[in-house]
């Protein structure tokens, strides 16, 4: 499953479902797809997401069990969504995902 996040004034962001659901939970939302965040609630969701990612940065890195793939951190995976939420907050826009 893929989840696409959209808002006005920023390109759409598409993530793998498991990563997107984790990001939604970090923002304090249920893992319901489709869904939306009203413009007034975007700054709080952004704050929760950045706080959760910052907390995860303090944990030791997770190694790949098979050792043949590079593990991508949630901080790296979350950066496009953080940028989208930042743009939505600046333009006072809703954020939707499907």
pLDDT digits (tens, 9 = 90+) for 45-64: 999 999 999 888 776 666 65
Please check whether residue 78 is in contact with residue 14, taking contact to mean a CB–CB distance below 8 angstroms: no
Residue 73 binned pLDDT confidence (cut-offs 50, 70, 90): confident
pLDDT tens digits, one per residue of 3-37: 999 999 999 999 999 999 999 999 999 888 999 99
Q: Are 35 and 88 in contact (CB under 8 A)?
A: no
Check residue 50 and give its pLDDT. Answer: 95
| Domain regions of the chain by residue span | 22-56+72-98
Per-residue pLDDT band at 75 (split at 50, 70, 90): confident
Give CA 72 to chain center in angstroms.
14
């Amino acid at each position: 499953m893929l989840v696409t996040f959209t808002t006005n004034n920023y390109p759409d962001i598409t993530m793998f479902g498991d990563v997107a659901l984790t990001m939604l939970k970090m923002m304090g939302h249920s893992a319901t797809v489709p869904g939306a965040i009203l413009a007034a609630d975007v700054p709080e969701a952004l704050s929760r997401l950045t706080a959760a990612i910052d907390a995860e940065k303090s944990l030791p890195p997770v190694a790949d069990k098979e050792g043949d793939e590079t593990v991508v951190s949630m901080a790296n995976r979350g950066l496009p969504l953080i940028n989208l939420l930042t743009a939505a907050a600046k333009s006072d826009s809703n954020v939707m995902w499907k």
